[in-house]
């Protein structure tokens, strides 16, 4: 990767021009580190979130939604942390702050398609992880949400050129990575990896984002998150959430489905759970953004 960065001036320019994290993503990065410690003081978690008042307000709003099934009104961040738990809170924080990043995309149609596809992939990743009994379902959610973060950066830093990529992809039903490689000599997963490294995200998450188009099976247990993200990505496409790019009609034919031992029936069951969850979450984040 370092060799690619050194040899490709465009990629080097793109990554160099990306500054530090905006407030919310920076806080999320801190939260991910803090919440790995089960003995962490809840007050420290609350203080970290309160550093961004907008994020805190949105988290409280989401915590009170009927989707999360709370029996009583959540009035403070401390109550939200206790009721939701570290893992769910972390996922909510990532989703909320990432959604805010997408608001800076000038191309409205692209922004909506990219965000909705990211959200659907995140939800599908969590459902798949839960179905196969993977121990890191919330990390799968976060990886799914961030899997196309490189596209967001490219659309901002190489606006005209990347609009041409989008047009080619949708006109031909092609793969983004193929069109990107042809035009730039690198693709959005390269950008995503370097960006998440720059933002100090845990390596297991940045690697899953980097490998989600070509997951590597080394016989690891648990199965690497990249396999889950790969399948979830195609499941979102299969439901026509996002772009008119390359799709797989039969998800069971994907190597990732085979690795995860998911047959057609189980995949269909997951898809059926995904659709209503996606609609609910999409509306929640829209309302929370107001």
Task: Mention the CATH class of domain 2-289.
Answer: mainly alpha
Which residues touch 252 (CB under 8 Å, ≥6 apart)?
258, 262, 263, 264, 267
pTM, two decimals, is 0.82
141: left (phi over 0), alpha (psi -120 to 50) or beta: alpha
Which of 232, 222, 224, 221 is CA-nearest to residue 262? Answer: 232
Distance CA 266, CA 164 (A): 38
Q: What is the pLDDT along the chain (290 residues), one digit of tens a residue?
A: 555 555 477 787 777 766 554 555 667 777 777 777 778 888 888 888 888 777 787 778 777 776 665 556 778 888 888 877 887 887 877 777 777 777 777 788 888 999 999 999 999 999 999 999 999 888 899 899 899 999 988 988 888 999 999 999 999 999 999 999 999 999 999 999 988 887 777 888 899 999 999 998 767 888 999 999 999 999 999 999 999 999 999 999 999 999 999 999 999 999 999 999 999 888 877 765 55
Using only the alpha carbons of the chain, give its radius of gyration. 18
Q: Which residue has the tokens 């999320």?
A: 28
- Our measurement of the distance from residue 189's CA atom to the centroid of its chain's CA atoms, rounded to an integer in Å, reads 12
Q: What is the 3-state secondary structure (H, E, C) of 6-23?
A: HHCHHHHHHHHCCCCCCH
């Amino acid at each position: 990767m370092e060799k690619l960065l050194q040899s490709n001036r465009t990629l080097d320019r793109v990554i160099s021009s990306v500054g530090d994290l905006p407030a919310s993503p920076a806080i999320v990065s801190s939260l991910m580190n803090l919440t790995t410690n089960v003995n962490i003081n809840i007050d420290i978690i609350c203080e970290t979130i309160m550093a961004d008042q907008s994020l805190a307000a949105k988290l409280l709003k989401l915590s009170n939604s009927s989707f999360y099934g709370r029996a009583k009104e959540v009035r403070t961040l401390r109550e939200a942390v206790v009721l939701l738990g570290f893992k769910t809170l972390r996922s909510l924080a990532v989703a909320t702050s990432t959604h805010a990043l997408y608001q800076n995309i000038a191309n409205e149609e692209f922004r909506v398609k990219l965000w909705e596809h990211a959200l659907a992939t995140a939800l599908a990743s969590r459902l798949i992880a839960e179905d196969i009994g993977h121990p890191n379902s919330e990390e799968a959610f976060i990886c799914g949400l961030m899997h196309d973060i490189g596209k967001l950066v490219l659309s901002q830093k190489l606006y005209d050129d990347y609009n041409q990529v989008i047009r080619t992809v949708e006109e031909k039903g092609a793969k983004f990575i193929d069109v990107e490689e042809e035009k730039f000599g690198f693709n959005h997963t390269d950008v995503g990896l370097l960006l998440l490294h720059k933002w100090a995200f845990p390596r297991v998450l940045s690697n899953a984002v980097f490998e989600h188009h070509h997951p590597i099976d080394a016989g690891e247990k648990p199965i690497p998150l990249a396999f889950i993200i790969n399948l979830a990505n195609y499941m979102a496409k299969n439901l026509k959430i996002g772009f008119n790019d390359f799709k797989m009609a039969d998800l069971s034919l994907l190597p990732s489905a085979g690795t995860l031992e998911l047959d057609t029936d189980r995949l269909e069951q997951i898809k059926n759970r995904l659709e209503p969850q996606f609609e609910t979450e999409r509306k929640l984040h829209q309302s929370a953004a107001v």
